[in-house]
Chain A
């Protein structure tokens, strides 16, 4: 039994059995709304289960929208008849079907409704029969059904319902209980049936979505809340690891971060539960089948989480930090892995603002003397830049803000110090890199600054990200969720896939006349996928040289420098 399975008192259950003996239209309304709500609450978990890079990339969102469309159809329906409500749900799901999983979901509702026909209500055997017909209808929609998907889960649910009836179930509540249990188990088995899931270390997302719909229904029947997800799994890029310099409480001596690839689908609730016995500040992120666990643990037990995770799969990276030591003034962790240029008094030092660890390494290798973390959505404060500046042993400082939004902050810093500070107005990472290539730590400060500034127009910057809302801007119309490309800060292209938008923006940037494209891929993009996109560019423009670097920046899967 997993943590997610709802439990209630025996006495309440006894009363509910009676109430749910026959399922009518009113009860189905209640259940359908609950199913839709619970799915929406847990949509992020379902979204995180994607096997990169299958075409159907946002299963949780798609299924939620499909269920909401189904619910909208019955919201104002006055009917109490089960048949009427079921047919309205099926119609709404069909009209609002989004994505593959949404289409299958609409077929399930369609079969369910057809079986109920125009009956006013249904007893347990009729409900089991409707689930069987839902399964049959879903399977009819494809020539070669792929097992280990939502189809398999619908089959296991129908089988369990039939077994429950054979076992004497005579309330629709018992059917629902059997369905939820079967869906849960079936979802856990999906990696055994579908190798691609096993490779990615996830369970099937569509099947998990169906499980949440059924579980939401059961939770509503049990009168449990539907607005709070049991666990939250976030994309790796959004995993904002707690800043270790914040106040550390007793029992948080060590920060342990482990990246791992689970051997089997990770049972997230059980994983959390186990970690809670070890420490605090637990965060779990997932991207491309790789999980990152973050925890604070007391002294002497700092290896416990690592030992535990070793039993779950392959550990790819471990990062440990003694927080107490750090509080006492140890060096900043983020700076350690990045080789920074040593500057001496009288030389020119460069401070760069970097949005990602990979980009920090790039800047470090080019001779940057200090780095400040920051980017589009996390602008560093004047204080942070000032701190970096004052720590350098020289008085001639150049700042590369590398973002339009940080330019002003950088200029303010120049007025707050007695050191001679010049801001090179770089508004993107590629501009920052271009400027660094023109840097000479031993030159005349004003000449070096002009040389670096003169390098900026020679490089064009393309940045790819996801549209967070629909908009028409600069003659480009964008739908929420599409990939958009900005060329030198201006919205230039939109596309349904990263690949499409990438090719479009390179076209727009006249890649044919360029010599070199440098690709910095972000935290959300797997190296293999970046490699693949690089090959696509090479094929489209055979004369173009393409370089790939891990950038590690959040929110922007790709930043490109075109020269």
Chain B
């Protein structure tokens, strides 16, 4: 990824850096109680090391940044609202940090966490 400002050289931002921002933003978003994993393997790895990038996939293959989030949502909240809210908040914070537009944030609700039953 290159920045187009006339700096003396190029600024490269790795997808990993973007995923860190996205994961932090997601975990501050109301209703998201954890990051999920894409596969069983990731799940096991996630148990061993607390990976700050877990549950985030960044696709920068085209001109656009596309973010996929795999999240665990609190049981008893309105999932559609939580999902749209986390998408907005991640997109906003990533755009603000990078100064580049985010084309899409896809939210995959992988599980619900049941803290209390009603």
Residues of A within 8 A of B (CB): 53-56, 87, 90, 94-95, 97-100, 102-104, 106-107, 110-111, 113-114, 137, 140-144, 146, 535-536, 539-540, 542
Contacts and interface: CB of A to CB of B under 8 A. Distances in A.
25 contacts: A55-B88, A56-B85, A95-B78, A97-B78, A97-B81, A103-B31, A103-B81, A103-B82, A103-B85, A104-B30, A107-B76, A110-B118, A113-B118, A114-B116, A137-B116, A140-B74, A140-B116, A141-B30, A141-B77, A142-B27, A143-B27, A143-B32, A144-B28, A539-B101, A540-B101
B77 A107 contact: yes
B28 A146 contact: yes
Contacts of A56: 85, 88
A538 to B, nearest CB: 9
Contacts of A540: 101
Given A94-B76, A97-B81, A98-B81, A103 B101 contact: no
A114 B30 contact: no
B29 interface: yes
Contacts of A97: 77-78, 81
A535 B99 contact: yes
Given A97-B78, A140-B116, 16 more contacts: A53-B92, A56-B88, A94-B77, A94-B78, A95-B78, A97-B77, A98-B81, A100-B30, A100-B81, A103-B77, A140-B74, A143-B28, A143-B33, A535-B99, A539-B4, A542-B4
A99 B85 contact: yes
Interface residues on B, range: 20 to 34
Contacts of B89: 55
Which 5 A-B pairs rank lowest in CB-CB distance, beginning with the nearest?
A: A55-B88, A97-B78, A143-B27, A141-B74, A140-B115
Contact of B78 (A103, A137, A144): A103
Interface of B: 4, 27-34, 74, 76-78, 81-82, 85, 88-89, 91-92, 99-101, 115-116, 118
Contacts of B76: 94, 107, 110
Contacts of B77: 94, 97, 103, 106-107, 141
A143 to B, nearest CB: 4
